Chain A
Amino acid sequence: DTGVSQDPRHKITKRGQNVTFRCDPISEHNRLYWYRQTLGQGPEFLTYFQNEAQLEKSRLLSDRFSAERPKGSFSTLEIQRTEQGDSAMYLCASSVARASGPYNEQFFGPGTRLTVL
Chain B
Amino acid sequence: GQQVMQIPQYQHVQEGEDFTTYCNSSTTLSNIQWYKQRPGGHPVFLIQLVKSGEVKKQKRLTFQFGEAKKNSSLHITATQTTDVGTYFCAGLRNSNYQLIWGAGTKLIIKP
Q: With the chains together, A78 CA to B96 CA distance in Å?
A: 24
Q: Is B92 interfacial (CB 8 A cutoff)?
A: yes
Contact digits for A97-117, partner B, Cβ 8 Å, 1 yes 0 no: 000001101111111000000
Size category of the binding interface on chain B: 20 to 34
Which of chain B's residues 36-60 have a Cβ closer than 8 Å to chain A? 41-45, 48, 50
Q: Do residues A110 and B101 form an inter-chain contact, with CB atoms below 8 A?
A: no
Q: Which of A55, A105, A111 has the most CB of B within 10 A?
A: A105
Which residue of B has the minimal Cβ distance to A31? B97
Q: Do residues A107 and B101 form an inter-chain contact, with CB atoms below 8 A?
A: no
Q: How far is the CB of A37 from chain B (nearest CB, A)?
A: 9
For B98, the chain A residues whose CB sits under 8 A away are 45, 48, 56, 58
Q: Do residues B43 and A43 form an inter-chain contact, with CB atoms below 8 A?
A: yes
Q: With the chains together, A45 CA to B9 CA distance in Å?
A: 20
- Point out the residue from A50, A105, A109 that lies within 8 Å of B48, measured CB to CB: A105
- A56-B97, A102-B50 known; A42 vs B42 contact (CB < 8 Å): no
- Point out the residue from B9, B92, B102 that lies within 8 Å of A103, measured CB to CB: B92
Residues of A within 8 A of B (CB): 31, 40-45, 48, 50, 55-56, 58, 91, 93, 102-103, 105-111
A-B contacts, 21 listed (Cβ < 8 Å): A41-B103, A42-B88, A42-B101, A42-B102, A42-B104, A45-B100, A50-B97, A55-B97, A91-B42, A91-B43, A102-B31, A102-B48, A103-B31, A103-B33, A103-B48, A103-B97, A105-B33, A105-B45, A105-B48, A106-B33, A106-B45
Residues of B within 8 A of A (CB): 6, 9, 30-31, 33, 41-45, 48, 50, 88, 90, 92, 96-104
